[in-house]
Chains A and B, each alone.
Chain A
């Protein structure tokens, strides 16, 4: 006879039991780091796209020949070391023994050569290096050699830089056209990508690679020992910041890469959370003019705008009133780095709307429409844009703000047409400080007209100084040229620097081993 109570008990028990699927091993939760990444991982190929989230995935999966330490100095990583000979035109790298890919194949010099070639085809610094490469070849399984047309002292830095460095893939994968996306994420890094668990937009999972041979040194920036101390790293994409904050407070997630600044006070109220700055470099704001059309093809108008800029206004709009969250940096090179200079930057210290208005009146500005395009779905850039819109209106420019999504903004900013035909006058963007430290990779300092970054400024003097810097004989000469470039940039204003803000991360108190680095990496991190 079927009894009602028995039936109910059975239903309840069945509901509580898994219908299928693997049971979690004891203690697995403590060895799994649940992370809210800064964006959705949509592509696995760090050469094909420059997306930061893909680069962070690459740091988990791949290893590098060289990697920069906390002082941005390149150190050997997969390399045991390198020898520079023949008047600094020959670099020979030797790989550490025992390196293996996730498919258990040994890492060979041929894999490195193939990976370097693919990376050099796409990366800006890589392209600069490629222009000097006479020959790149594998000497045997553990050694490969660059022969250069002329000395390129930044070779190790180029491969090991923190943003879009050269990651090493198996030769069979690295042979893919650099403009085609790879599908296979086999690397030799400390974690393996679990392709079967990848659900783009929701989840991406990595497991510890037992065959990884870390260096014996302590981690230092991106250099040193990359010891995987977790069994699994699980990224869950939570696009809504309020939901991500709740998930952190509630203990449903362990680590949130880029919490929204507005939510930091709320997160600080939780005793279970640690809020710290992990990234070594701040994020820099950029106000870019379109130099092709009026009114910003007129230097006097650009200078009038610069006179009104007060970086603090921008930084408060992005990162709040706490001055520990941002910093003024009135030069084109990353503050605190060897090239940082404020020579000629007096114009950015004017910070006076009245003076700017007078300068605009004297500039010959004839009321031309200024179209400022802003991405409404990108909070930081949107905040920068709205401050500029207000500023420009106050000094007397005829401003039209066009608010669109990021996808539309990046398409429209490529237009060289005047504003009447769908063009633009002003855009904003942000950049990691790592990308503004040296002229080779500094996008916004290029002033080579049609080949420059959107806005297309043209200034022969800046380009001459840049070329001279590449050939600088010593540190003093390098600094002198850096200061000259800053002064010239402040004179002709290819763009206006807007200072930098810090992007802290949040993690649960039981997460240990987080260290400062120029990128978000998960080696050395454990969970108590």
Chain B
């Protein structure tokens, strides 16, 4: 197990190298010029050229890539073209809101979606099942920003229960922190809940047909015990897989959610950086997202062994 884990961690290095090469090349060929953004309307072409030179953007592709890659290997993500701040500092400033949003959404989604899926499977074909599946279709179909605006209108503007926007760091109190994240987490969690609920239902339906479930019933095990101890544990592997895959959904959804609720997270940092062509920031954030995704997959693989003892690495 330990050897497997180490092997997987080492295997992330080439994956990250490919991601780095891809991201750098993509940005190199994409249109846009940060020097023109900085210079503004009054600048002459010579001014723009001088700013480009001062930023090192006039150097050949290979020179720029080699320098960037060398700095990355030394743990230096570079400096933002616009703010002049180290990219690592900017990521550090933004990571807490995004991480908080993702964790709360994840907890919320799992706590709601798994019981929903289990109950839908148990009550297969009934009105409860149809309601759950109807909700799942809705969760998939309604865009995050629509849910976000509706929630903000009802709970912030009309009822005045929660703030419309912003983020309060955890260091200023758990309730203010949580208060700012409730609506964004619900908005972001919709599609995630739908996904997990559907896969839980489908897997549970299959497991509930198994002989050992019939045996448990024959032995007189209570329904909750059958559902949550015997069936759910055996249905866990596909559910955990989907939860892991869903992290990518969360990262993508966070970009929109952070914009709607003005949360200063990594999603907004990425969008702002893309619009301004702040290359070092874009590269740094994408590398971080890729690394997170690789890491989540590793954790999911390791979790398999917990739910299914037959799986061994």
Check B173 for interface membership: any CB of A closer than 8 A: yes
| Stretch of B99-107, B202-210, B259-267, B302-310 at the chain-chain interface | B259-267
Is A400 part of the binding interface, using a Cβ–Cβ cutoff of 8 Å?
A: no
Segment from A345-353, A407-415, A484-492 that makes contact with B = A407-415
The answer to whether B171 touches A179 (Cβ under 8 A) is no
Flag if B172 contacts A18 (CB, 8 Å).
Answer: yes
Cα(A441)–Cα(B269), bound, Å: 34
Do B45 and A414 touch across chains, with their CB atoms under 8 A apart? yes
Interface range on chain A (Cβ under 8 Å from partner): 35 or more
Bound state CA distance, A240 and B146, in angstroms? 13
Contact for A19 among B42, B83, B85, B171, CB less than 8 A: B171
Q: Which residues of A contact B171 (CB under 8 A)?
A: 18-21
Q: How far is the CA of A201 from the CA of B94 in the complex (A)?
A: 9
Q: Give the interface SS of chain A, mostly helix, strand, loop or mixed.
A: loop
Q: Once bound together, how far apart are the Cα atoms of A414 and B163, in whole Å?
A: 44
Q: Which residues of A contact B152 (CB under 8 A)?
A: 243, 246
**Which of B50, B82, B160, B167 touches A250 (beta carbons < 8 Å)?**
B160
Give the chain A neighbours of B40 by CB distance below 8 A. 49-51
Contact A181:B84 (CB < 8 A) given known A16-B173, A451-B44: yes
Looking across the interface, which residue of chain A has its beta carbon closest to that of B85?
A200
Out of A20, A200, A243, which one reaches B82, CB within 8 Å?
A: A200
Complex Cα distance, B45 from A119, in Å, reads 18
| Interface pair A237/B269, CB less than 8 Å apart | no
Residues of B within 8 A of A203 (CB): 264
Stretch at the interface among A40-48, A144-152, A276-284: A40-48
Would you call A407 and B37 a contact (CB within 8 A)? yes
Check: A377 CB closer than 8 A to any chain B CB: yes
Chain A residues with Cβ below 8 Å from B69 are none
Q: Is the CB of A50 within 8 A of B268?
A: no
Give, as a whole number of angstroms, the nearest-CB distance from A455 to chain B: 12
Q: With a CB–CB cut-off of 8 A, which chain A residues contact B175? A: 15-16
Judged by a CB distance under 8 angstroms, whether A453 is at the interface is: yes
- Tell whether A246 pairs with B44 under 8 Å between CB atoms, given A17-B173, A200-B82, A414-B33: no
Please measure, in the bound complex, the distance between the C-alpha atom of A412 and the C-alpha atom of B39, giving whole angstroms. 15
A510 within 8 A of partner (CB): no
Q: Is the CB of A407 within 8 A of B174?
A: no
Chain A 394-436 per-residue mask, 1 if CB under 8 angstroms from chain B, else 0: 0000000000111110111010000000000000010100000
Q: What are 23 A-B interface contacts by the 8 Å CB criterion? A: A16-B174, A18-B172, A20-B172, A40-B272, A50-B39, A50-B42, A122-B47, A200-B90, A201-B94, A238-B262, A242-B260, A243-B260, A244-B165, A246-B153, A246-B157, A247-B165, A247-B262, A406-B37, A406-B275, A407-B276, A410-B33, A411-B33, A412-B31
Question: Which 3 residue pairs across A and B have the least CB separation, nearest first?
Answer: A50-B40, A202-B264, A42-B82
